[in-house]
Amino acid sequence: MTTTKIITTLAMLLAIAVATHAEDAPLLRSLPTEVQGEVEDTRARCREHIDSVEGSGYTSQVVTSGDDGLIQFNLSGRQAVMIDHVELCGGASFKGVNHTNRGSHSVVVYVRSGNSWRKVLSTDAGEKVFLSVDDNSGFRALVMSVLGGNKGCPTRPVLVREDGKSFVYQSWKHYCDVVVRWDRTKFTYKPL
């Protein structure tokens, strides 16, 4: 086989593989290029972490691929997708990888507007995020935990140290649960 035929064959195989991959992930491939990159970067970091830590109880096969891990629903009759960095890694949380040292992870919602996507929610959530939809996948509410001081969640004073007769208090940011609703133009948060 000549070099030209080998290169042509390899190019055709690559084109078929790319087309097949795009068909397996139509939602992911429809998102903006930078969002696709963030999704794939998070997945790659999770795989790397799992492969580098022996005895973690996870294998890199838990990490999602394609459209898996992208949570689809409808928002005011339009296609929407929630990208939860924990879900991208098969429900696993790894500090410094897809989870912060404060115990939160990124949750972003995009809504389709014509042929493009618009970001309508971006927050850090603690714990698992619960999405409630109706029988037609229409959005009802999100329930999640957010850090105090954010989204209307209060902070509370905590005794940090006692110096003789004086007390030093610090505003402590703890997680509080919120219900997130859509008012047809934006998401609103209500602490539970």
- The residue among 111 and 103 whose pLDDT is bigger is 111
The full set of domain ranges for the chain reads 31-191
Q: What DSSP line would sit under 82-124, residue for residue?
A: EEEHHHHTTT---BTTTB-TTSEEEEEEEEEETTEEEEEEEEE
Please compute the mean of the pLDDT values over residues 20-43 and round it to a whole number: 88
- Please name which of 174, 189, 177 lies closest in space to residue 145, comparing C-alpha atoms: 177
Full-model pTM: 0.78
Residue 120 has pLDDT above 80, yes or no: yes
Read off the pLDDT of residues 52-78 as tens digits, 9 standing for 90 and up. 987 777 888 899 999 999 999 999 999
Q: Could you tell me how many residues make up the chain? A: 192
Lowest-pLDDT choice from 34-38, 83-87, 123-127: 123-127
The structure tokens 């939809």 sit at 133
Average confidence score pLDDT of the chain? 84
pLDDT of 119: 97
pLDDT over 70 percentage in the chain: 79
* 186 touches 120 (CB < 8 A): yes
Phi–psi pair at 28, nearest 5 degrees: -60, -45
Residue 14 has pLDDT above 60, yes or no: no
Using DSSP's 3-state secondary structure scheme, residue 36 falls into: helix
Residue 18 has pLDDT above 60, yes or no: no
Neighbours of 94 (CB within 10 A): 19
The structure tokens 């629903």 sit at 73
